[in-house]
Structure 1
Amino acid sequence: MKRLLIAVAVMILGAPWALLAWQRNLSDATPASTAPVNLQRGAYLAAVGNCAGCHTARGGERLAGGRAIPTPFGTVFSANLTPDATGLAGWSADDFWRALHLGTSRDGRLLVPAHPITNTTLVTREDTDALHAWLQAQPPVAAPRREHELRGVYGSQLAIAAWRALYFKPGVYQPDPAQDTAWNRGAYLSQGLAHCSACHARRDALGGDRGAADFRGGLLAGLGWWAPSLHDPAEAGVQRWPAETLQRWLRDGHADSHTAQGPMAEVVLGSTAALDDADLAAMTTYLRALPEQTADRPEGALPSSRRRELGAGLYREHCAACHGANGEGRRDEAGALAYPALAGSRLVTQASAANLIRLIERGGFAPATPGHPQPYGMPPFAGVLGAEDLAALASHLRQAFGHRAGEIDTVEVLRQRAATASH
């Protein structure tokens, strides 16, 4: 019996490593690209993938890593991507391919799952080689790797290997023959380098999802923002948007009454604003074709009369001058919508009030892009509104202007604050 238990333990512990060895053999069989090195192409891919977004610490040198990335299991620190000895100096195209395709470092160390391996594995060898060549041409910056601060066994190589055995299967994107060229290009970008599912996936207790096309939406752990579902038109689904509106929103961060806020503003500024016209149209085609999955949303409970009166008064005092007495928004001298309408706003009425609370407390700032260079911003009210006031104002917004979303109580506001106090 003892020998049987030992054998079972060896099989369980050895299975992830055997799987990794098999995956590595598949990776080694992929030859380097024979296409000429194109640094301009590499620069474009780095922009679309928003490499600098995670690999630049706040106030630090571009691409030198060190940015803290909160996860449910502790904090991860991004790596240095510059060609310094503390970064990618000496890395071959094969080394870099294995990092993106398999999530293994040059020394064989497994990269933590915060690296979007389920997305980057889809990137073609040709694109990976172009990206590698561009990174190697950047100025080197000395920035030693900072050790991750993960709790317990979560940062161990065995735990990472086990996670991959459960959730990861390497493989370059394979076009769907039932779809046209534009759809497949949009899918390749959205599922791969742009790694949309890194935020918009619904993750389980171990941080796993259903793959690179999982856009069901979920809470961004440690950040306090809700990444809304791309399938649900009541959240972030764009199936009913005109194609031209979505293209302007992805490029400029602002279109009609829609404005990118929070982490999505960073994505527009660092990624989708760089898309060329063909790729912008392709991503638009793909996102508009996602199947609709609308969740049932029962009408929320009405706030008490006291909370309604308090919230309405706070709205008149702090919000109506910009957003209009009836939530209609306000236009500038050129007729463009300067301050977004709150009436009919999906952000206000979606099931999770996390983003609404976050915006009221910390302010709203759209990205400054070439197509929208001077966006209007909203000041933060964290120092003005207490938890009770914020709950009343949020509840008013979710019940006013014809809305029927649930009220927000003080406990929910305090819970959201506690979840994001350190970020």
Structure 2
Amino acid sequence: MKRILWTLFFAVALLALGTAVVAALNLRGEAALPAESQALSQAVPATPELVARGEYLARAGNCMACHTVQGGAPYAGGRGIDTPFGVIHTTNLTPDKATGIGNWSAAEFWRALHNGRSKDGRLLYPAFPYPNYTQVTREDSDAIYAYLQSLPAVAQANRPHALRFPYNTQAALGVWRALFFTPGTFAPEPVQSAEWNRGAYLVNGLGHCAACHTPRNALGASSQAQAFSGGLIPVQNWYAPALNAAAEAGVAHWPVEDVVALLQTGVAPQGSVTGPMAEVVFRSTQYLSDADAQAMAVYLRALPQQAPAASALAKPAAAMLARGAKVYEQHCAQCHGDKGEGKPGAFPALAGNRAVMLQDPTNLVRVVLQGGYLPATAGNPRPHGMPPFMQVLGDEDVAAVSTFVRNAWGNQASAVGTIGVYRARERRGS
């Protein structure tokens, strides 16, 4: 009996210790809110210049993309973000006092960005990318806050999340944060130029580029050690290619002006954007100032490059290549050319196109099925697009033509299987 009591005592003590450690880790880097929390009107003087700067920064952070439903009021929230753990609904950021952030202070808004904690103290889910936004400066946070407070107030109640147990509990979120989140601040590298440091701040903070371009573990956390090494975007089923690999989306060998062009217009001599990145350019990076776009380009070009992975590719079956060649001739050659040369300024070349030859063929398959659409930008207001072939081609033909373009005109990549096409077709709504 005594042994059972001692075992129970140690179990309770261990649980209490674990709870205390998790609680302490969730409070690290978090100071008590200052008195300004009770003086909303005096926290941040909203000058026209500050509001304009906040609008620019909100666009740089692409805040509207998540906090606006299609056809809805800007920043009024309600958009469902699919995750492997369920659906998270974004919140109302307009200054409505009942349903938005009209009763938030600048300090509380800063705490949400920096510490991932809501006004009432609740822990926020990292679908809101505070693991990246934690690097945003207080000055920039105040500017964004001033801009959001200047918007028309929209009375739209926040929708509850639809997460599975135990992911819908604050306890589980607390454990996740204890394991994977540490608040931080941006620290300029003294050996780097001011331009490089500005680019690092934008890419790693407001731009939160690593949120997509970094692989995630089974619990949805990304690793700093693998930052920018590419990863499949959960649920969306698009592959965000590595930004530190020449064979994927690395730009170390590009002229800086071409990187700027890609960010601001969505097209460059070496490639173009589609899928989720097209929305990023459309809603966010096209509005970057020339100086900030160049700073991001300088930083991205300087990323340490990972060594190319060695792989022995098996030659696709001749029958599949022959079938793919016929599909290509019938449906693709008119735009992309008989030899995959494309048409400059209109349709991209497929010969030598690294997006076509990615080790993960997900993006190519989805473009064939759903079509490829560049963003309409000030620098490219009427881009050409590619129609969807979902209703025209069966899984076998999509697999065959994808395999063909990955292995024609000097291209070399693995074959695409019909099972991969089937999965992409089933997830087309993601």
Q: Is TM more than 0.5 here?
A: yes
CA contact (8 A) 1:202 1:216 kept: yes
Alpha-carbon deviation of 1:210? 2.2
- Identity, % of aligned pairs? 48
Inter-partner Cα distance in structure 1 for 2:156 and 2:227: 34
2:182 matches 1:169: yes
The one of 325, 332, 340 aligned to 1:327: 340
Show the counterpart of 1:7: 13
Show the counterpart of 2:27: 21
The one of 68, 71, 83 aligned to 1:56: 68
1:41 alignment partner, SS class? helix
Alpha-carbon deviation of 1:8? 0.7
2:297 matches 1:284: yes
CA contact (8 A) 1:257 1:341 kept: no
Alpha-carbon deviation of 1:421? 4.5
Alpha-carbon deviation of 1:35? 10
Q: 1:362 to 1:14 in 2, by over 3 A?
A: same
Inter-partner Cα distance in structure 2 for 1:30 and 1:291: 43
Q: 1:421 to 1:11 in 2, by over 3 A?
A: farther
The one of 375, 382, 397 aligned to 1:374: 382
Alpha-carbon deviation of 1:257? 4.0
CA contact (8 A) 1:80 1:143 kept: yes
Superimposed CA distance per residue, residues 349-389 of structure 1 (whole angstroms, 9 cap, x where no aligned partner): 01000000010000000001011011000000000011111
CA contact (8 A) 2:131 2:181 kept: yes
Alpha-carbon deviation of 1:297? 4.1
Give the unaligned 5+ runs of structure 1: 332-336
Question: Paired residues, what number?
Answer: 417
Superimposed CA distance per residue, residues 65-86 of structure 1 (whole angstroms, 9 cap, x where no aligned partner): 1111111111111111111121
Inter-partner Cα distance in structure 1 for 2:388 and 2:375: 16
Paired amino acid for 1:91:
W
Give the unaligned 5+ runs of structure 2: 1-6, 38-42
Alpha-carbon deviation of 1:302? 2.1
Alpha-carbon deviation of 1:307? 1.0
CA contact (8 A) 1:83 1:135 kept: yes
1:219 alignment partner, SS class? strand
- Single out whichever of 131-140 and 204-213 deviates more from structure 2: 204-213
Superimposed CA distance per residue, residues 201-230 of structure 1 (whole angstroms, 9 cap, x where no aligned partner): 111111111249821110011111000111
Alpha-carbon deviation of 1:299? 4.1
Inter-partner Cα distance in structure 1 for 2:150 and 2:403: 52
- Single out whichever of 203-212 and 341-350 deviates more from structure 2: 203-212
- Single out whichever of 1-10 and 211-220 deviates more from structure 2: 211-220
Alpha-carbon deviation of 1:310? 0.8
Paired amino acid for 1:328:
E
Superimposed CA distance per residue, residues 166-189 of structure 1 (whole angstroms, 9 cap, x where no aligned partner): 111112211111211111100000
Inter-partner Cα distance in structure 2 for 1:352 and 1:4: 49
Inter-partner Cα distance in structure 1 for 2:15 and 2:93: 38
1:2-401 counterparts in 2 under 5 A?
2-25=8-31, 38-84=50-96, 85-211=98-224, 214-331=227-344, 337-401=345-409
Runs of 4+, deviation exceeding 6 Å: 29-37
Paired amino acid for 2:368:
I
Inter-partner Cα distance in structure 1 for 2:45 and 2:227: 33
Q: 1:29 to 1:272 in 2, by over 3 A?
A: farther
Alignment RMSD, CA only?
Answer: 1.9
Alpha-carbon deviation of 1:33? 7.5
| Length-normalised TM-score, structure 2 | 0.93
